[in-house]
Amino acid sequence: MVTMDTRDTRERILEKAEELGRLISQTAEYAYLQAANRDLGDDREATELLNRLRDLQETLMDTVGRGEDPPADQRAEYEELQEKIQTTSRYQALISSQANFDKLMEKVHRSIGTGIRKGEESRIILPS
């Protein structure tokens, strides 16, 4: 099997990865995800709900980590906060755009896997 120098191969991989990153940043999926993140971040009420939810989650996890049952009022507040945030349109837009971006990244991952399998089958690796 003929292979390129390992250092050259690694440099080319990193160059291709950087190029891939630039291309991904130009997709509609990425743009929608960025916009949804900004919109949610600009929503003061949603941000406050998320911060409170995060704080409460940490408290609940600490309680469970000590082997204790969280108080019913904290569990109820956590569920209520989850429901409130999940019903906001900006949060729903974020979840939707994240799912679409994740689908794109899954396709990228599968394509990389296909390239690896094809590379394994090839006897000669030529620089392109």
Q: Among residues 13, 33, 16, which one has the least CA distance to residue 25? A: 33
Q: Among residues 27, 30, 45, which one has the least CA distance to residue 90? A: 45
pLDDT in tens, 47-103: 999 999 999 999 999 999 999 999 999 999 999 999 999 999 999 999 999 999 999
Q: What is the mean pLDDT of residues 34-58?
A: 95
Coil, strand or helix at 98: helix
Within a domain: residue 80?
A: yes
- pLDDT band, very low/low/confident/very high, at 122 (cuts 50, 70, 90): confident
| Predicted pLDDT of residue 1 | 46
Within a domain: residue 36?
A: yes
Q: What is the gyration radius of the CA atoms in the chain, in angstroms? A: 22
Domain total in the chain: 1
| Predicted pLDDT of residue 2 | 46
Predicted confidence (pLDDT) at residue 4 exceeds the cutoff of 90:
no
CATH number, domain containing residue 70: 1.20.1500.10
- pLDDT band, very low/low/confident/very high, at 7 (cuts 50, 70, 90): confident
Within a domain: residue 128?
A: no
Within a domain: residue 67?
A: yes
CA distance 96 to 83: 17
